[in-house]
Structure 1
Amino acid sequence: MKMLRVPLLVMGFLMCAQGFAATAQQSKMTTCNADPQAKTLKGDERKAFMSNCLKATPAAAAKPVTAQQQKMKDCNADPQAKTLKGDERKAFMSTCLKK
């Protein structure tokens, strides 16, 4: 009797894992179907749209920008940084990132 418990337990975990995966896919399908653009498309255009929509990663899954990355972005966007070259640019970026 004890030997039967382990395979049943493993099988139960596998079935639960499949249930979670199906739920994520179903929610993605619901989101893609709810898109107003999907409602106006027909045939092959709709198939292509749905395929792209389902392949796309959700925006929430995108990595947030760290403070250091934001500083780099801001310093690079500075018009002064665009005119500098070589060592002058390195010095400017160094002081800008230390702020």
Structure 2
Amino acid sequence: MRLPVVLTLLATLCAAGSALAADTVKAPSAAQTAQRQKMTDCNSQATTQSLKGEDRKKFMSNCLKAESNATEKLSPQQEKMKTCNADAAKKELKGDARKTFMSTCLKKAS
């Protein structure tokens, strides 16, 4: 008599846990959505060309790299961050000295 009650209770808890887990799933970010679209597009092109094996791998790699470079534009802030980061690397700055340099460098752009 206890076994059916225990099994029912266990099934109820599992269902409740699944419902809670489903609520916590995040929607994909814009970057993830864009990457998925790139993968879909490149995969479609590779299929259209009937590529297989190594040829397909090479095509997919080149396709994904080419598309990401074409759509990836840096904002002025990102450009400045890149420049300041490169300057800090040239000066071999570490720790607090790097933080101070980066802060000063980025403020100069504003």
What is the TM-score with the length of structure 1 in the denominator?
Answer: 0.40
Pick 1 or 2: higher relative contact order, CA cutoff 8 A, min separation 6: 2
What is the TM-score with the length of structure 2 in the denominator?
Answer: 0.37
